[in-house]
Structure 1
Amino acid sequence: MNDYSTTRDRVEHYFDRTATHTWERLTSSAPVSRIRQTVREGRDTMRAKMLWRLPKDLTGLRVLDAGCGAGQMTAELAARGAQVMAVDISPQLVEIARKRLPPEHQDRVTFASGDMLADDLGRFDYVVAMDSLIYYTDADIAAALDRLGARTRHSVVFTVAPRTPFLMAFWTMGKLFPRSDRSPVMIPHPFQPLNEATGGRLVKVGRVSRGFYISECLEFRP
C-alpha cells in the first residue's frame, strides 16, 4: 500500500504540524466563522448518523475509533459503555482528545498515535472511521477495509467524499493549485466503483450536506 503510506504521511504532516489549532477550535464550542460553523454542524450530524449504526448499549464491546481526531466520537462511544481504542495519526490531536475526555470515561479508553490500520491495535466488535479515509483512492480504501474487516466482528462504519459537482470542482482546484499548507486533497467517490472494489460489501447509510461539509456514510460488512 505505497500510495496509502504516502497519503498517510501527508495527512500526518498537515494535522500534526499545520492544522492542529484549527481543528482544536473547530471541534470545541468556541466561536468560528460562518463557513466553519457549517462544517461543525455537518460533522455533528454525521457523527450521530454513524453512531446510529451501532447498538445504543455498547457495554462489553470493543470499538476502534480510527482517526479519532479531537475525541468527540471517542467520548460518545465510551458514554455508551464501549471499550474504545482511539487512534489518530496526529499525536497532538490525540493529546487534545485525551485532555477532553470526561474523567468518568477514562477507564474505558485507550489512546494511541499512529496508523489506524496497525495490526497490533487488536480485534474489535465495530470500527468507526469518520472522515479518515477521505483522502484515499478506491484501491487504498478497499485494502484498508479488508485489513480492518479481518479483525472486526460486525462492521466498519466509515465516510467518504461523494462525487458531487461541488466536491469535484474542489478536487480539480486542489490538483491544479497544490499548496504545502493546505489540507491533503480529498478524493470524491461514486458509490458503485467503490462498492465493486470491496467485492460488493458496502451498504449506503446516508449523506450529510451542510454548507462546506459534504460527506457520505457507508457500512462495510466483512
Structure 2
Amino acid sequence: MSYDRTLSRVETYFDRTATRTWERLTSDAPVSRIRETVRAGRDRMRAQMLARLPDDLQGARVLDAGCGAGQMTAELAARGADVVAVDISPSLVGIAEARLPIDLRGRVSFRSGDMLDARLGRFDHVMAMDSLIYYADADIARALATLGGRTDGRVVFTVAPRTPLLMTMWRVGKLFPRADRSPTMVPHSPASLAQALAEAGAPGRLAALERVTSGFYISQAMELAS
C-alpha cells in the first residue's frame, strides 16, 4: 500500500473512528487495564524521546510530526521551543489545541495535514512518535529523507519492532477485511530500515534507541541524526 493510501486510512481511522478513544486514552480519565498499559508505555516512550533533546529549547523550531492529542507538543513548548504541531486528523489537532495551557499558546502553531508538507518549512529537530508505524520500509525511508533534508538536528521517531508477538499479530490481522479494522502496524528491524534509508539517500546516521514494552504497547525508538 502506498504512502498516500495509508495516510488516507490513518486519517479516516483517527478522525472518524477512534477520536473519542484517543481523547480518553491521552487524558487522566479511567481506562481499562489493557489501555492503562498502553498509556504507561506511551508515557515512557515520550519521556525517552524528549530526553534526546536539550532541556532548554529556547529559540529552537521543532516539528511534532503526528502530534495527536498534543502531549508531546505541550512538553516541547514548556522547554521553550517554537513548535509546529501537525496531524492528519483535524479532530485530534482540535483536542491538542484546546488542551494546550494558555501560557504556551504563543509558542505553538497547529496544522492539520501531511507531516511531510514542504510548506511547514525547516526545523532544528523533529519528533515523530508512533506516526510512522503504519508504513512500509520504503515509505518510512522516503519520509525520513524528506524530514532529514529539512532538519538541522535530530529526527527522533518510533517504529513497530519486528518481534515474534507483533509478527504474529500482523499476520493474523491480514486475514481480516481492511474495512473492518484499524490501520495495521508494519513491523520493522533496524537493519531493514537502514538499508531502505541508504537506498532513499536519506542524510544522517540512523541509531536504534530503547524499545518500550508495556502490555499491548510495543514500540522501538530510533533516531536520525545529522
Q: Which category describes the TM-score, using the shorter chain as reference length?
A: over 0.9
Is the partner of 1:152 in helix, strand or coil?
coil
Which residue of the partner structure matches residue 187 of structure 1?
186
1:55 aligns with 2:54: yes
Distance 1:161 1:116 in 2: 19
Cross-structure match for 1:117: 116
Look up the match of 1:66.
Answer: 65
CA distance in 2, matches of 1:51, 1:149: 18
Q: How far does residue 177 in structure 1 lie from its aligned partner after superposition? A: 1.2
Residues 156-195 of structure 1: pairs in structure 2 closer than 5 A: 156-195=155-194
Instruction: Using structure 1 for the length normalisation, give the TM-score.
Output: 0.97
Matched to 2:214, the amino acid is R
Counterpart selection for 2:212 from 208, 212, 219: 208
Alignment of 1:12-27 (within 5 A): 12-27=11-26
199-208 vs 153-162, which deviates more? 199-208
Q: How does 1:88-103 map to 2 (within 5 A)?
A: 88-103=87-102
SS in 1 for 2:13: helix
> Please, what is the CA RMSD of the aligned residues?
1.1
- 1:89-120 deviations in whole A, cap 9, x for unaligned? 00000000000000010000000000000000
Tell me, in whole angstroms, the C-alpha distance in 1 between the residues paired with 2:113 and 2:11: 9
Whether 1:43 and 2:47 are equivalent positions in the alignment is no
Q: Given that residues 208 and 215 in structure 1 are in contact (C-alpha distance below 8 angstroms), is that contact kept between their aligned partners in structure 2? A: yes
Give 1:197 deviation, angstroms. Answer: 1.3
Q: Quick check: 1:160–1:216 contact (8 Å CA) kept in 2?
A: yes
Greater displacement, 181-190 / 18-27: 181-190
Deviation at 1:155, TM superposition (A): 1.4
What is residue 127 of structure 2 aligned with on the other side?
Answer: 128
Name stretches of at least 5 consecutive residues in structure 2 with no aligned partner.
Answer: 199-203
Deviation at 1:179, TM superposition (A): 4.5
Which residue of structure 2 lines up, in the alignment, with residue 85 of structure 1? 84
Task: State the Cα deviation string for residues 48-101 of structure 1 (Å, max 9, x = none).
Answer: 000000111000000000000000000000000000000000000000000000
- More divergent stretch after superposition (200-209 vs 70-79): 200-209
Post-superposition CA distance 1:144-167 (Å, at most 9, x none): 000011110011000000001111
Instruction: Using structure 2 for the length normalisation, give the TM-score.
Output: 0.96
For residues 114-154 of structure 1, the C-alpha deviation after alignment (integer angstroms, 9 at most, x for no partner) is: 00000000100000000000000110000000001111001
4+ residue segments displaced more than 2 Å: 178-182
Q: Distance in 2 between matches of 1:132 and 1:181?
A: 21
Unaligned runs of 5+ in 1: none
- The aligned counterpart of 1:29 is 28
Structure-2 separation of matches of 1:185 and 1:69? 18
Aligned length: 221
Identity %: 68
